[in-house]
Amino acid sequence: MFNNVSRGRPKGRSNLYEDPLKSIVPIAVKHDLDPKLLVNAFVEAWRNNDSKYGSLKISCRMVNEEAAIFLVTKGPEVISQFPINLEALKAPEFFKNVIQHIQIPKRKKSKENRQMKISELRVGMKRVNIKAKIIEIPPRRLVQTMWGGRSYVSNAKISDDTGSITLSLWNNQIGRFNIGDEVEIENGVVTNFAGKLQLRLRKNSHLSKIDKE
Protein backbone atom coordinates (compact mmCIF):
# COMPACT_ATOMS: atom_id res chain seq x y z
CA MET A 1 0.00 0.00 0.00
CA PHE A 2 2.87 2.34 0.66
CA ASN A 3 4.99 1.61 -2.42
CA ASN A 4 3.24 3.81 -4.96
CA VAL A 5 4.61 7.20 -3.91
CA SER A 6 5.94 10.31 -5.58
CA ARG A 7 9.12 9.88 -7.61
CA GLY A 8 10.13 13.42 -6.73
CA ARG A 9 10.88 12.65 -3.11
CA PRO A 10 14.53 13.01 -2.08
CA LYS A 11 16.29 9.66 -1.84
CA GLY A 12 17.07 8.43 1.65
CA ARG A 13 14.22 10.38 3.27
CA SER A 14 11.25 8.19 2.30
CA ASN A 15 11.06 6.41 5.65
CA LEU A 16 10.68 9.75 7.45
CA TYR A 17 7.27 10.10 5.82
CA GLU A 18 6.16 6.58 4.97
CA ASP A 19 6.81 4.96 8.38
CA PRO A 20 4.44 7.20 10.39
CA LEU A 21 1.87 6.99 7.60
CA LYS A 22 1.73 3.24 8.19
CA SER A 23 0.15 4.15 11.52
CA ILE A 24 -1.70 7.35 10.58
CA VAL A 25 -3.51 6.09 7.48
CA PRO A 26 -5.08 2.96 9.09
CA ILE A 27 -6.25 5.09 12.04
CA ALA A 28 -7.85 7.58 9.63
CA VAL A 29 -9.56 4.79 7.66
CA LYS A 30 -10.85 3.04 10.79
CA HIS A 31 -12.36 6.23 12.23
CA ASP A 32 -13.61 7.68 8.91
CA LEU A 33 -11.21 10.64 9.00
CA ASP A 34 -9.28 12.51 6.31
CA PRO A 35 -5.61 11.38 6.53
CA LYS A 36 -4.36 14.86 5.57
CA LEU A 37 -6.36 16.51 8.35
CA LEU A 38 -5.15 13.85 10.75
CA VAL A 39 -1.58 14.81 9.81
CA ASN A 40 -2.52 18.41 10.68
CA ALA A 41 -3.72 17.21 14.09
CA PHE A 42 -0.36 15.56 14.79
CA VAL A 43 1.50 18.73 13.79
CA GLU A 44 -0.80 20.79 16.04
CA ALA A 45 -0.22 18.39 18.94
CA TRP A 46 3.54 18.67 18.41
CA ARG A 47 3.28 22.45 18.66
CA ASN A 48 0.67 22.69 21.42
CA ASN A 49 0.98 19.35 23.30
CA ASP A 50 -2.60 18.25 22.46
CA SER A 51 -5.09 18.40 19.61
CA LYS A 52 -8.42 16.87 18.64
CA TYR A 53 -9.78 15.62 15.36
CA GLY A 54 -13.15 13.90 15.19
CA SER A 55 -13.52 11.62 18.20
CA LEU A 56 -9.74 11.26 18.59
CA LYS A 57 -7.36 13.10 20.89
CA ILE A 58 -3.69 13.32 19.92
CA SER A 59 -1.18 14.03 22.70
CA CYS A 60 2.52 14.72 22.27
CA ARG A 61 4.02 12.72 25.13
CA MET A 62 7.73 13.32 24.60
CA VAL A 63 10.13 15.10 22.23
CA ASN A 64 13.82 14.27 21.76
CA GLU A 65 16.41 15.44 19.26
CA GLU A 66 15.07 13.23 16.46
CA ALA A 67 11.39 12.52 16.99
CA ALA A 68 8.19 13.21 18.92
CA ILE A 69 6.17 10.43 20.57
CA PHE A 70 2.40 10.67 20.12
CA LEU A 71 -0.45 8.98 21.99
CA VAL A 72 -3.81 8.62 20.22
CA THR A 73 -6.88 8.06 22.38
CA LYS A 74 -10.65 7.93 22.00
CA GLY A 75 -12.21 8.74 25.34
CA PRO A 76 -10.54 6.41 27.87
CA GLU A 77 -9.47 3.99 25.12
CA VAL A 78 -5.87 4.00 23.85
CA ILE A 79 -5.82 3.69 20.05
CA SER A 80 -2.10 3.84 19.29
CA GLN A 81 1.28 5.29 20.25
CA PHE A 82 4.18 5.85 17.85
CA PRO A 83 6.99 8.31 16.98
CA ILE A 84 7.18 10.80 14.10
CA ASN A 85 10.50 12.25 12.97
CA LEU A 86 10.82 15.98 13.62
CA GLU A 87 11.94 16.60 10.04
CA ALA A 88 8.60 15.27 8.82
CA LEU A 89 6.65 17.37 11.33
CA LYS A 90 8.46 20.49 10.16
CA ALA A 91 7.36 19.85 6.56
CA PRO A 92 3.67 18.87 6.81
CA GLU A 93 2.88 19.92 3.22
CA PHE A 94 5.54 17.54 1.90
CA PHE A 95 4.20 14.98 4.35
CA LYS A 96 0.69 15.32 2.95
CA ASN A 97 2.01 15.24 -0.62
CA VAL A 98 3.18 11.68 0.06
CA ILE A 99 -0.39 10.74 1.06
CA GLN A 100 -1.66 11.82 -2.39
CA HIS A 101 0.36 9.02 -3.95
CA ILE A 102 -0.83 6.34 -1.55
CA GLN A 103 -3.81 4.17 -2.40
CA ILE A 104 -5.96 4.59 0.69
CA PRO A 105 -8.41 1.73 1.25
CA LYS A 106 -12.02 2.66 1.88
CA ARG A 107 -13.61 1.32 5.00
CA LYS A 108 -16.53 -0.94 4.24
CA LYS A 109 -19.70 0.17 5.96
CA SER A 110 -22.60 -2.08 6.74
CA LYS A 111 -25.99 -1.52 8.28
CA GLU A 112 -24.54 -2.73 11.57
CA ASN A 113 -21.97 0.09 11.56
CA ARG A 114 -24.37 2.96 10.96
CA GLN A 115 -25.73 5.22 13.67
CA MET A 116 -29.16 4.08 14.81
CA LYS A 117 -32.09 5.78 16.50
CA ILE A 118 -33.65 4.50 19.72
CA SER A 119 -36.99 3.90 17.97
CA GLU A 120 -35.24 1.39 15.68
CA LEU A 121 -33.91 -0.81 18.49
CA ARG A 122 -35.28 -4.32 18.90
CA VAL A 123 -34.51 -7.19 21.30
CA GLY A 124 -31.54 -9.24 20.16
CA MET A 125 -29.81 -6.54 18.15
CA LYS A 126 -26.01 -6.53 18.38
CA ARG A 127 -23.25 -4.11 17.34
CA VAL A 128 -25.59 -1.19 17.98
CA ASN A 129 -24.08 2.27 17.48
CA ILE A 130 -26.08 5.15 18.87
CA LYS A 131 -25.79 8.72 20.14
CA ALA A 132 -28.08 9.95 22.91
CA LYS A 133 -28.38 12.19 25.97
CA ILE A 134 -28.42 10.91 29.55
CA ILE A 135 -31.66 12.09 31.17
CA GLU A 136 -31.67 10.03 34.36
CA ILE A 137 -29.07 8.31 36.58
CA PRO A 138 -30.68 6.53 39.57
CA PRO A 139 -28.62 5.85 42.72
CA ARG A 140 -26.31 2.89 42.27
CA ARG A 141 -27.31 -0.52 43.69
CA LEU A 142 -25.11 -3.38 44.88
CA VAL A 143 -26.14 -6.55 43.05
CA GLN A 144 -25.04 -10.18 42.85
CA THR A 145 -23.67 -11.04 39.41
CA MET A 146 -24.19 -14.34 37.58
CA TRP A 147 -20.51 -15.13 38.21
CA GLY A 148 -20.98 -15.01 41.98
CA GLY A 149 -19.38 -11.62 42.57
CA ARG A 150 -20.89 -8.27 43.52
CA SER A 151 -21.01 -5.10 41.47
CA TYR A 152 -22.64 -1.70 41.53
CA VAL A 153 -25.17 -0.92 38.82
CA SER A 154 -27.31 2.07 37.84
CA ASN A 155 -29.93 1.68 35.14
CA ALA A 156 -29.60 5.09 33.58
CA LYS A 157 -32.02 6.38 30.97
CA ILE A 158 -30.88 7.86 27.66
CA SER A 159 -32.93 9.55 24.96
CA ASP A 160 -32.76 10.97 21.46
CA ASP A 161 -35.39 12.66 19.29
CA THR A 162 -37.18 9.34 18.73
CA GLY A 163 -37.52 7.89 22.23
CA SER A 164 -35.72 6.67 25.33
CA ILE A 165 -34.16 3.43 26.61
CA THR A 166 -32.46 2.13 29.74
CA LEU A 167 -28.65 1.88 29.67
CA SER A 168 -26.92 -0.18 32.36
CA LEU A 169 -23.90 1.55 33.91
CA TRP A 170 -21.58 -0.59 36.01
CA ASN A 171 -19.08 0.26 38.75
CA ASN A 172 -16.70 3.07 37.67
CA GLN A 173 -18.88 3.88 34.64
CA ILE A 174 -21.44 5.36 37.01
CA GLY A 175 -19.25 8.20 38.26
CA ARG A 176 -17.93 9.10 34.81
CA PHE A 177 -21.21 10.51 33.51
CA ASN A 178 -23.78 13.10 34.57
CA ILE A 179 -27.35 13.93 33.64
CA GLY A 180 -27.28 16.03 30.48
CA ASP A 181 -24.15 14.41 29.04
CA GLU A 182 -24.34 13.42 25.40
CA VAL A 183 -22.83 9.98 24.91
CA GLU A 184 -21.89 7.66 22.07
CA ILE A 185 -22.31 3.89 22.38
CA GLU A 186 -20.52 1.53 20.03
CA ASN A 187 -21.15 -2.22 19.75
CA GLY A 188 -23.98 -2.25 22.28
CA VAL A 189 -26.57 -5.03 22.53
CA VAL A 190 -30.33 -4.79 23.09
CA THR A 191 -31.92 -7.06 25.68
CA ASN A 192 -35.25 -7.42 27.45
CA PHE A 193 -35.34 -6.73 31.20
CA ALA A 194 -38.59 -6.80 33.16
CA GLY A 195 -40.53 -6.50 29.93
CA LYS A 196 -38.70 -3.39 28.71
CA LEU A 197 -35.90 -2.81 26.23
CA GLN A 198 -32.47 -2.30 27.73
CA LEU A 199 -29.19 -1.32 26.07
CA ARG A 200 -26.17 -3.13 27.48
CA LEU A 201 -22.42 -2.94 27.04
CA ARG A 202 -20.21 -5.98 26.50
CA LYS A 203 -16.43 -6.43 26.61
CA ASN A 204 -16.02 -5.13 23.06
CA SER A 205 -18.47 -2.24 23.58
CA HIS A 206 -17.39 1.37 23.98
CA LEU A 207 -19.11 4.18 25.86
CA SER A 208 -17.77 7.74 25.61
CA LYS A 209 -18.93 11.28 26.31
CA ILE A 210 -19.32 13.49 23.25
CA ASP A 211 -17.26 16.67 23.46
CA LYS A 212 -19.74 19.50 22.79
CA GLU A 213 -16.91 21.72 21.52
Strands annotated E in the chain: 50-53, 56-63, 67-74, 77-85, 115-116, 128-136, 141-144, 150-160, 163-170, 182-193, 196-200, 206-209
pLDDT at 101: 59
For the domain covering 111-209, report its CATH number: 2.40.50.140
Instruction: Summarize pLDDT for 141-173 with one digit per residue, the tens.
Output: 888 766 667 888 889 999 999 999 999 888 888
Write the Ramachandran bin of 144: left for phi over 0, alpha for psi from -120 to 50, otherwise beta: beta
Supply the pTM of this predicted model.
0.47
Please tell me the distance from the alpha carbon of residue 119 to that of residue 163, in angstroms, as a whole number. Answer: 6
- Does residue 210 surpass a pLDDT of 90? no
Q: What are phi and psi of 198, to 5 degrees?
A: -140, 135
pLDDT at 146: 65
Whole-angstrom distance between the N-terminal and C-terminal Cα of the chain?
Answer: 35
Q: Average pLDDT over the chain, rounded to whole? A: 81
Please tell me the distance from the alpha carbon of residue 92 to that of residue 203, in angstroms, as a whole number. Answer: 38
Please tell me the distance from the alpha carbon of residue 172 to that of residue 165, in angstroms, as a whole number. Answer: 21
Give the three-state DSSP class for 168: strand
Provide the residue ranges of all domains of the chain, joining segments of one domain with +: 14-100, 111-209
Reference 16, options 99, 106, 88, 122; nearest CA is: 88
- Does residue 17 surpass a pLDDT of 80? no
- Report the DSSP pairing between strands 77-85 and 67-74: antiparallel
Instruction: Summarize pLDDT for 88-135 with one digit per residue, the tens.
Output: 888 777 666 766 656 555 555 444 467 889 998 888 888 899 999 999
- Alpha carbon 2 to its chain's center: 24
Taking residues 29-50, report their average pLDDT. Answer: 87
- Does residue 1 surpass a pLDDT of 50? no
